[in-house]
Structure 1
Amino acid sequence: MADFQVEWLTLHRRTYNGEIPAATWRIKRGDKVNLHLNNTLTEPEKLQPFNGFRFTNSTNIHTHGLHISSKEPEDNIFVHLKPGQSFDYKYKIDPENPSGTYWYHTHLHGSSLFQVHSGMAGMIIVDDVQHETPEHLWKVSCPVHCEHDIQLVFQPILEYRNLFGNGFSTLQMRMQDNPLFWHTNTISSGGTLAQWLTRNIYLYTVNGQVNPVVVMPTGQTKRFRMVNAGGTIFLAVMIYDMSDQVTDGCSVLEIANDGIYLDKAAFPKSGRTFIVPSGKVDWLVVCNKPGTYKVRSLYHQSDFASTGRIQLFNDTMFTINVTGLPTNTKLQTKLPKRVFFVGDFRGVPQCDVKDRFVVEAGHWFHLNREKFKSHDYYRYNSEVNQLQEWYFINTDTDLGHPIHMHINHFQVISYNKYTGGYGVATLGTNDLVYFTKDRERCYYQHLNYTGRENVTQPANPFRYFDHDIRYKETNGSALGYSEVGIFKDTLLIPPQANITVRFLTHKYTGEVVIHCHLLSHEDSGMLMTTYISEPGTQIKTHTKSGNAYPGTCNKTDVFPFHNFPPCKEERDYVHEYYHGNNHGHEHTYGHNYGPEYGHSYGYGYEPAYGQEYSYGSGYGQPHGYEQSTGHEQQYNQKNGGGNAYTLLFGSDEENDGLNDENLDYFNELKREDFLRRLKQDSVFDPSLLF
Structure 2
Amino acid sequence: SPVAGAALIMRDLALIALLGAVCASCGAAAPLRQPKVVSADADGVVRTTLTVAAARWDAGPASFMTRAYNGDVPGPTFRLSAGDTMQVRLVNDLGPDDADYSMNEYGKPNVTNLHTHGLHVSPEAPGDDVFARVGPGMAQDYTIELPDSHAPGLHWFHAHVHGSTNLQVQGGLVGAIVVEDDAATAPPELLAMRDLVLVIQNVVLDASTAPDPIASIPAAEYLTGSAMSLDIEYGDAAAARNFITVNGDHQPTLDGVAPGEWVRLRMVQAGHGPFMALHVPGCAMALLAKDGIYLDAPRDVPFVTFAPGSRRDVAVMCAAAGTYQLEASTDGDMGEAGAFGQLEGVVASIEVGGGAVSMSLPTTLPPRPRYCDDLRAATPDGAFSVNYGGGGGSYVNVALILVTVAAPAAVVVLNAAVWACGLCPRPLSRGLGCCRCRRRGRCAAAADDKAPATATATAATAA
When normalised by structure 1's length, the TM-score is 0.49
Task: Work out whether residues 46 and 54 of structure 1, in 8 Å CA contact, stay in contact via their aligned partners in 2.
Answer: no
Deviation per residue, 1:45-83 (Å, 9 max, x gap): 356677962111000011000001110001111101111
Q: Which residue of 2 aligns with 1:264?
A: 297
Matched, 1:291 2:198: no
1:359 Cα deviation after fit? 2.5
Residue 22 of structure 1 aligns to a residue in which SS? coil
Please give the alpha-carbon distance, in whole angstroms, between the structure 1 residues aligned to 2:143 and 2:354: 47
Task: Count residues in correspondence.
Answer: 369
Q: Distance in 1 between matches of 2:68 and 2:402?
A: 35
Q: Does the aligned pair in 1 maintain the 2:118–2:155 contact within 8 Å?
A: yes
User: CA 1:2/1:316 → structure 2, altered by over 3 Å: closer, same or farther?
Assistant: same
TM-superposed CA distance for 1:326, in Å, is: 5.0
Contact 2:64 2:231 in 1 (8 A): no
C-alpha change, 1:57 and 1:224, in structure 2 (3 Å) is: same
After the TM superposition, which segments of 4 or more aligned residues of structure 1 sit over 6 Å from their partners? 49-52
> Is the contact between residue 234 and residue 312 of structure 1 (CA under 8 Å) also seen in structure 2?
yes
1:432-443, aligned counterparts within 5 Å?
Answer: none
CA-to-aligned-CA distance 1:426-463 (integer Å, 9 cap, x gap):
xxxxxxxxxxxxxxxxxxxxxxxxxxxxxxxxxxxxxx
Contact residue 381 and residue 531 of structure 1 kept, 8 A: no
CA contact (8 A) 2:105 2:225 kept: no
Measured against aligned partners, the alpha-carbon deviations of 1:533-562 in whole angstroms (never above 9, x if no partner) come to 9xxxx95489x9xx96269xxxxxxxxxxx
Q: 5+ unaligned residues in a row in structure 1: which ranges?
A: 141-147, 186-192, 241-246, 371-377, 383-404, 407-510, 515-527, 552-690
1:206 paired with 2:246, answer yes
Determine the structure 2 residue equivalent to 1:620: none
Q: Is the 8 A contact 1:104 1:124 kept in 2?
A: yes
Given residue 164 of structure 1, which amino acid in structure 2 is its aligned partner? D
Matched residue type, 1:45: D
Residue matched to 1:357: 384
Q: Which amino acid aligns with 1:136?
A: E
Instruction: Name the one with the larger strand percent.
Output: 2
1:528-539 superposed matches below 5 A: none
Question: Are residues 1:12 and 2:65 paired?
Answer: yes
Distance 1:34 1:53 in 2: 30
**Counterparts of 2:347 and 2:269, CA distance in 1:** 11
Correspondence 1:168 to 2:217: yes
Residues in 1 aligned to 2:240 and 2:262: alpha-carbon distance in whole angstroms = 37
CA deviations over 1:262-285 (Å, ceiling 9, x no partner): 1111023xx310010011000112
State whether residues 189 and 360 of structure 2, in contact with CA within 8 Å, keep that contact through their aligned partners in structure 1. Answer: no
Q: Distance in 1 between matches of 2:166 and 2:99?
A: 16
| TM-aligned CA deviation for residue 356 of structure 1 | 2.6
Give the SS at the match of 2:168: helix
Which residue pairs with 2:286 in the alignment? 253
- Residue pairs, 1:619-638, within 5 angstroms: none
Cα gap change, 1:513 to 1:29, in 2 (>3 Å): farther
Q: 1:88 to 1:349 in 2, by over 3 A?
A: same
Are 2:311 and 1:280 equivalent residues in the alignment?
Answer: yes
Which residue of 190, 197, 204 corresponds with 1:151?
Answer: 197
- Could you tell me which amino acid in structure 2 is paired with residue 206 of structure 1? V
Check whether the contact 1:101–1:125 (CA below 8 A) recurs between aligned residues: yes
Contact 2:82 2:147 in 1 (8 A): yes
Distance 1:89 1:71 in 2: 10
Q: Please give the root-mean-square deviation of Cα atoms over the aligned residues, in Å.
A: 3.4
- Residue 222 of structure 1 is matched in structure 2 by 263
2-side partners of 1:379 and 1:172: how far apart?
Answer: 42
Shift of 1:366: 3.7
- Give the C-alpha shift of residue 28 in structure 1: 1.1
Looking at structure 2, the residues matched to 40 and 201 of structure 1 have their Cα atoms a distance apart, in angstroms, of 28
Shift of 1:230: 1.8
Per-residue deviation, 1:333: 3.3
SS at match of 1:57: coil
Structure 2 match to 1:465: none
Q: 1:84 aligns with which of 112, 115, 137?
A: 137
SS at match of 2:225: coil
Cα 1:288/1:4, change in 2 over 3 Å: same
8 A Cα contact 1:56 1:175, kept in partner: no
Task: Give 1:232's aligned residue.
Answer: 273
- Does the CA-based 8 Å contact 2:61-2:240 persist in structure 1? no
Structure 2 match to 1:549? 456
Note if contact 2:205-2:219 (Cα within 8 Å) is conserved in structure 1. no
- Are the aligned partners of 1:117 and 1:157 in contact in 2 as well (CA < 8 Å)? yes
Counterpart AA for 1:231: H
* Contact 2:198-2:268 at 8 Å conserved across structures: yes
Are the equivalent residues in 2 in contact too, given 1:14–1:115 (CA < 8 A)? yes
Structure 1 Cα separation of the partners of residues 246 and 59 of structure 2? 11
> Residue 383 of structure 2: SS of its match in structure 1?
strand
Structure 2 gap ranges (5+): 1-53, 392-397, 404-408, 420-429, 436-443, 459-463
- Greater Rg by CA: 1
- Most deviating of 165-174 and 332-341: 165-174
Go from structure 1 to structure 2 and tell me whether the alpha carbon gap of 1:86 and 1:180 turns closer, same or farther (over 3 Å shift).
same
Mapped to 2, the partners of 1:8 and 1:311 lie a distance apart of 22
When residues 532 and 324 of structure 1 are mapped into structure 2, their CA distance, relative to the original with a 3 A threshold, is farther
Mapped to 1, the partners of 2:411 and 2:155 lie a distance apart of 27
Structure 1: distance between partners of 2:95 and 2:196? 36
Q: Percent identity?
A: 27
For residues 639-686 of structure 1, the C-alpha deviation after alignment (integer angstroms, 9 at most, x for no partner) is xxxxxxxxxxxxxxxxxxxxxxxxxxxxxxxxxxxxxxxxxxxxxxxx
Once the two structures are superposed, what CA deviation does each residue of 1:88-144 show, in whole Å capped at 9, x if it has no partner?
Answer: 00111121111011000000000000000110000000011111111111222xxxx
Q: Is the 1:379–1:529 Cα contact (8 Å) retained in structure 2?
A: no
Does the residue aligned with 1:309 lie in a helix, a strand or coil?
Answer: helix
> 1:374-393 alignment to 2 at 5 Å?
380-381=411-412
Question: 1:289 touches 1:327 (CA, 8 Å); kept in 2?
Answer: no
Distance of 1:529 and 1:224 partners within structure 2: 40
Residue identity opposite 2:266 in structure 1: R
Counterpart CA distance in 2 for 1:112 and 1:256 is 26
Paired residues of 1:16 and 1:120 also in contact (CA < 8 A): yes
Residue in structure 1 matched with residue 227 of structure 2 by the alignment: 178
Whether the 8 Å contact between 1:133 and 1:336 is mirrored in structure 2 is yes
1:135 and 2:164 equivalent?
no
SS at the partner of 2:58?
strand
In structure 2, how many angstroms separate the alpha carbons of the residues matched to 1:334 and 1:293?
28
Q: Structure 2 length normalisation: TM-score?
A: 0.71
